Structures are given as structure tokens and as C-alpha cells.
Amino acid sequence: MLIFHHKLNGVLLEKADTLIYGCTVLPMNGKYFIEDGAIAIKDGKIVFVGKASLVTSIKAENRINAKGKVAMPGLINCHTHAPMTLFRGFAEDKPLTVWLREAIWPLEAKLRAEDVYVGALLGCLEMIKSGTTCFADMYFHEEIVARAVEQSRIRAALAQGIIEAGNKELGRKMFRESVGFAKKFNGHADGRITVLLGPHAVYSCSQDLLREVSEKASELGVGVHMHLAESKEILQGVSEVEFLEEIGFFKSCVLAAHCINLTENDMHILSKRGVNVVHVPVANMKLGLGAARIKDLISLGVNVCLGTDGPASNNTLDMFETVKFAALLQKLTYMNPTVLSAYEVLKMATMNGAKALGLADKVGSLEIGKRADLILIDFSKSHLKPLHDVFASLVYSARGSDVDTVIVDGKIIMENRHVKSLDEISIIEEAEKTAADLLAR
């Protein structure tokens, strides 16, 4: 009889909590896959990845026959505003400045903490159902978002937003709240929540405030999440990157969303300072902002990951849609079909995302010793047949609705498309009521 005897940290293991077998496994730590593979999970960690034939006799409380499915790391959404699910479809087909100042900001001024909770729960539900296991969020009442994250059992890197917009008193207040949130919630929810500071953007925060944010982030040992070089309209003729470099902003790890309007010098600065760029293709296209030059950034060694942006500027939190658009937009931008291969863009949505959030040692790939954050995609669907190239099929053909099972930190939070951690029907009903009430205020 074959006995499972993988050695982890010097301990001989003969059983696991969960065993997934019979699937095609994409570890995403290299361009290869394992047919008829298996993954064993114990105490929230991956303890085996390999051929199913090697673990036929392992004892496991949960045994998942994943024949016909593909197992891969959960997708990582590196830039969103999850509570904005309540704004989905509200302000459509408007330029960024009009969209922000005449529609979004006035509506956000009416938001209450309970609204944010409902919107965040709906966002977590949507992300789980479409295969996202970790997301980076920047918004208000972020302690309420943390509550939704804890309840849903997803993983998140959260930042309490900071906006000054010419009001120094407001900026100071929001800065204090962001720092207080970071101190309180780092490592919350059994370690699934990490934190960042969240200055909104160069155009909405003063030079003094940005300097203070950078210094405090370094002091706390946390990163910074912000919008960068998003629009030509807002800061005409000014290089935001050069400005931040001049004031010594890039001291800590920076997660910079959009990065569309960059000069060659800007790109070199981002590379030199180790800034993580979040490519947000769908929202950028929808708002007519342009396309980031991702190929150029990658060639300079910049770590590029992916994000959906909020559901008000994208309308969906489906990272599979973002993966496809990321690949297609770059091919169009450079007029070159070889730019950004299927494997490269999947890596941006997994390994690169984990690196950007400081979680590369925990998640982003299916490797022994890492936390068990993974998804199973059902490849029995007609739009995924025949299967010639698993990486291409995931990028160009798969949809969020093809995700069958989601596991985070070793816990099965969705199985056979049934979300175990949340009441789907009640969340949807409450979100519709809350959105209607918000618009009526």
C-alpha cells in the first residue's frame, strides 16, 4: 500500500485536512502544468503538489474529486473600491472629472457606515464567485470593510482612504484615521488582513501630507496604495512621478494604480524605486483615459499586477474579464499580437499580485509551505472545449462564472458554486434596498 509521507518542516505527514485530486494543476511558479494532479492541504497550508498517483492512500477529512477541473492560485485584485458595488451603473459614459465631481463624490458624501458594510459584503460575494481570493481595497469606513472581509473569509490588503482636496483639516483627520486603522487591523482576521496607507492621489493630497504619509508608512513598516498618473486633464503638464521622486515619497513599498501617463523618465523612476504598478485596463478604457504601456514597464523590471478598479468605473469585479482585457489591450496598444502572453498575464493576476502586496511568501502560487488560497475552474463548459492550451483557455475563454470551488487559507468558502461563508440571497436583497435608499437621500 502506498503511504503519503511528504516531509514538511521535518515532520512526517500521513494525512491532510483536504485532498484535491484528478485535476490539472497550474502552480504558476513556472510555465508548466501537472495533469492528473493533486493538492494536499493541512492546517491552512499546502503540504503536497504533484501527481495524484502519489497520494492515493492519504487520509483526508475532505476529499475533492476534481476531474475535469483546473486548479490554480486564487486571483489577486490589486486595486478596487469594493463598497462601490452600490454605485454600479449609476454614473455612466462620463469623463473622469465630471464622473468624480458631479456624480461619485456627491453620492459618496451621503454614504453611511452601514451602506459601506452592505456594499463591501456584495463585493466580497462577487469576488468569491468569480475566483478572487485576495483584493487590495482603498475606501472610507475601512474598518467596516474589514468586518465584511472577516465574515466572508476572503483575504485582503486594506487602506483607509485619505483625501485633502484643499481642506487641510479634512486631510489631517483622514490621515489620522488611516494610521489608526493600519495600527489596529494589520494581521486581523487570523492574519488574512494586511494594511496599507491610502493617499488618494497627487491631485487630492498636498505635498506636506504626502510627505507625512510616506514617513509614517516607513515608520509602521506598511505599504502605500494610491492612484498615479491616471489622467492628463487633472494635472496638465506635470509629471506626478517626478514630483513624488523630488519630495522623497518612494521610501516604502508603493502600490500605484493606473500609471497611464508616464514619460520614459517616469518609468525609470518607478523601476529604480521598486514601485508596483497596477494595470487597470477595463476602467481605463471605459473612462477614455488611455492605455498604460505595460510592455515598456515590464522590460524595465517593474512588477506589474492587475486590478478591476471599483464597480462604479468598471461595473464588475470579475478578474477573469480583467485578465482578458489586459492581454488584448496591450496587443492593440503595441499593434503586436506577441505582446503579453497568456502565461505572463496570468502571472500578473497571481504571483505578481502577491509580490505587490508583500504576500509572495504566503500566496500567489501553489507551492509547499504556502497558504492554501486556490480555485478550481470547471472545464466541462462548451466555451472551454476543446482544450489545446490551458493558459490560453483561461485567459481568452474562461469567465468568472466557470469557477466551481474557492479555498482561502485552507478553508473551502465556495463549493459547487455555493458560497458557504455568506448568505448570497440576503446580501443581494439588502444591497438593492441600500442602493435605492442611498439614491433617494
CB 67 within 8 A of CB 52: no
pLDDT of residue 105: 86
User: What tens digit of pLDDT does each residue of 281-297 get?
Assistant: 999 999 999 999 999 99
d(CA 399, CA 321): 7
What is the helix (H) or strand (E) element at residue 208, kind and residue range?
helix 207-220
The residue that leads in pLDDT, 231 or 45, is 45
User: What tens digit of pLDDT does each residue of 317-362 get?
Assistant: 999 999 999 999 999 999 999 999 999 999 999 999 999 999 999 9
What is the helix (H) or strand (E) element at residue 117, kind and residue range?
helix 113-129
d(CA 329, CA 335): 9
User: What tens digit of pLDDT does each residue of 369-405 get?
Assistant: 999 999 999 999 999 999 999 999 999 999 999 999 9
Compute CA distances 396 → 231, 382, 383, 389, whole Å: 29, 14, 10, 11
Of the chain, the percentage scoring pLDDT greater than 90 comes to 86
Please report, as a single letter, which amino acid is at residue 102.
Answer: E
d(CA 415, CA 62): 12
Q: Quickly state the pLDDT bin for 6 (edges 50, 70, 90).
A: very low
What is the helix (H) or strand (E) element at residue 149, kind and residue range?
helix 142-152
Q: Supply the pTM of this predicted model.
A: 0.95
In 142-301, the DSSP E strands lie at 155-162, 193-199, 223-228, 254-258, 276-279
Other beta carbons less than 10 A from residue 219's beta carbon: 11
Strands 223-228 and 193-199: parallel
Other beta carbons less than 10 A from residue 265's beta carbon: 12
Q: Quickly state the pLDDT bin for 188 (edges 50, 70, 90).
A: very high
CB 127 within 8 A of CB 154: yes
pLDDT of residue 213: 98
User: What tens digit of pLDDT does each residue of 260-274 get?
Assistant: 999 999 999 999 999
CB 36 within 8 A of CB 51: yes
The residue that leads in pLDDT, 66 or 104, is 66
Q: Quickly state the pLDDT bin for 2 (edges 50, 70, 90).
A: very low
Which domains are delineated in the chain? Answer: 7-73+366-417 (2.30.40.10), 75-356 (3.20.20.140)
User: What tens digit of pLDDT does each residue of 62-99 get?
Assistant: 999 999 999 999 999 999 999 999 999 988 888 888 88
Q: Quickly state the pLDDT bin for 200 (edges 50, 70, 90).
A: very high
CA dihedral 175, 177, 181, 182 (to 10 degrees): 20
pLDDT of residue 236: 67
